[in-house]
Chains A and B, each alone.
Chain A
Amino acid sequence: MSIKHRLREFKAGMEPSIKETKFMLGRIKQSPLSVFGIAIILFYIGIAILAPLLAPPTLKDPYMIPRERFYPTPQPPSEKHPFGTTEDQLDIFYGTIWGTRIAFWVGLWVVAASLAIGLVVGCIAGYYGGIIDELLMRFTDIIIAFPSLVLAIAIVAALGKSLDNVLLALVLVGWPGYTRLIRGEILKAKQDDYVEAAKAIGASDFRTLFRHIIPNTIYPVVIVASLDIGAIVLTAAALSFLGLGSPSGYADWGQLITISQNWIYGSSQNPWEYWYTFIIPGIFIFTFVLGWNLLGDAFRDILDPTLRRR
């Protein structure tokens, strides 16, 4: 069967979902909070794309924050440094702008990789069932239930401190969640009549999966993924904060906050002397995660079957 035919089949299977999507988007527009969430995310996408323009890189690795002249203490916001500088004269503005790219990088990569693994393993478990399913589910249950940060710390300790290893650790901690999700949907679909019918006609396993089951899993996955990105970025920031992520001087929000810890108290006359060192990066993290959480919440409310009304 030609690729064109397969594609056409896939599109046909997707059609009801596409109609649903249009309806959903309409509903989303009605909720002010979700619009706010989308606005935040679009704003950050803008910043991430425009990073080279907003904060032109001067070093070979654009993710290393450039250092200026040496001052012993962080410098307050000025024309040259709109957000001020932190320890060792790292430009906070540069760090937070390029940190946006890192945030998207981490969030999207972890979700994509976890989802990919989850799809494969979930399909195997769901479709073949039996003892394979049992064992896989026990195993994933334990990972899901185990405190994620603790596990991630252990993994990064084993692999070495770096942002890439943080990503890897988060993927290792995150894939079971998606596995369960996909497997659940497959089990549900297995009971559906059209899968039985397709099998009766003699459709191959792969085709059944592709055309019928996968399009139906898109919605739950979208909800979980969008809520998840927020949590992932928070955990990654926490790992960076603890010192297990990118090296010092890297444009990473968590990194910026960890080096600001020395400056939480200013002089006795002005305890908030160095507020910009930790407040500004923190606001970036907070609003970024808030945007995704609002979006995920909105998706969840909208896709809640009891609230759906045509």
Chain B
Amino acid sequence: MGLRSYIIRRFLLIIPTLIGVTLLIFFVIQLFTPEQRAMLYIRDPRQIADIDDIIRIYNLNAPLHIQYFIWMSELLSGNLGFSHTAHTTVVNALIQRFPATIELVMFAIPLTIVIGVYLGVISATHKDKIVDHITRSVSIIGWSLPSFWLGIVLIAIFFGGFGVFPPERLSISVQRYVTSTEFIRYTRINTIDGLLNGNLWVVLDALQHLVLPTVTLTAISIALIVRVMRSSMLEALNKGYITMARAKGLARKEVVNKHARRNALIPVVTLSGLLAASFLNGVVITETVFNINGVGRFGVNAALNFDIPAVLGFALFSGVLFIVANLLVDIAYAYIDPRIRLG
């Protein structure tokens, strides 16, 4: 049947999941008062004076299913309300801040996966030796550390102590340069823009600022991967096809890397859905600690300042990101494990 039709089927499955997420957010919305909920439909701050009108127009006191339809139609027309902390529409605010989050995540995710898988494999192939014990200890320590605390301690040690790896996204001078007319911001992702503009200083500066947040974000999620990879690797190494591969004359290393690892990755991939959630949580904390102007910090800020449309927009946005992440994970899963494609 093949990979292609599986991907198409999987795409179609997004729709019910999206509906489910909107339902969830909708229930959270109902926890607010009608006045607060009215804020969701306003695009312009000047409309606040007519709040009673708005409540009437959008039927905010009507039964739940009607409210749900009204809200969904607003959503689908692109209106998430106005954010007073960002002084623009919620949609705009999210778009502006999204690149910062992407930049953080685009380094952290590959690092987490690569290092996590590698440590898991070593741990399994050297079971009960020193490497294994160290990896498992580090793993459980990482799992128990409060992420925000790790971030703060890292800042204290490296930036406070040694003056390297500053928080935030760019140093002040580079920030000024990047927002000037000399620099074209294609993606608003500093590392990529720096490369596209041919300016290595921007790239290096951005990277320097990214070190600690990436380490913090990675540390949070890596423990889970290492643990699952280790146990699934141990299971794979016990299987018959491993002995067969060696009986064919393959070297131990090749057998581990080629035969065992791909099978061992399967549970890790299924776990990646959980990992996506963990990353989204981590992003919120990391952006707050390191003062990065991304989507996560936006949401927290909004929550602290009673910016309701922003909080809900942020939650919805996270939900969508999360669904996309799961889709990618499922596709990766089908790529690795051909048995899934038969459906």
Contact = CB atoms under 8 A, between A and B. Distances in A.
A and B touch in their complex, CB below 8 angstroms: yes
Interface residues of B, number: 52
Given A150-B315, A157-B311, A257 B149 contact: yes
B144 interface: yes
Chain A binding surface, main DSSP class: helix
A10 interface: no
A149 B281 CA distance: 5
Interface in B48-96: none
Given A142-B17, A143-B24, A272-B156, A157 B144 contact: no
Contact of A297 (B140, B152, B302): B140
Interface in B285-311: 285, 288, 299-300, 302-304, 306, 308, 311
Given A147-B318, A290-B144, A156 B156 contact: no
B31 A159 contact: yes
A26 to B, nearest CB: 22
A138 interface: yes
Contacts of A241: 146, 148, 285
A272 B285 contact: no
Contact of B144 (A138, A154, A275, A286): A286
Chain B binding surface, main DSSP class: helix
A154 B156 contact: no
A265 B319 contact: no
A282 B314 CA distance: 28
A266 interface: yes
Among A271, A272, A275, A294: residue with most chain B CB under 10 A: A271
Interface string A225-255: 0000010001001100111100000000010
A96 to B, nearest CB: 13
Contacts of B148: 237-238, 241, 254, 257
Interface string B133-169: 0000000110111111100110110011100000000
A285 B152 CA distance: 14
B219 interface: no
Contacts of B318: 146-147, 150
B303 A157 contact: yes
B147 A238 contact: yes
Nearest to A155: B28
A286 B149 contact: yes
A289 B29 CA distance: 32
Contact of A272 (B21, B143, B160, B273): B160
22 contacts: A143-B24, A146-B277, A149-B281, A149-B284, A153-B315, A154-B28, A154-B312, A155-B28, A157-B303, A237-B146, A237-B148, A241-B148, A254-B148, A257-B148, A265-B160, A271-B161, A285-B146, A286-B146, A289-B145, A290-B144, A293-B144, A297-B140
Interface of A: 138-139, 141-143, 145-151, 153-159, 161, 230, 234, 237-238, 241-244, 254, 257, 260-261, 264-266, 271-272, 275, 278-279, 282, 285-286, 289-290, 293-294, 297
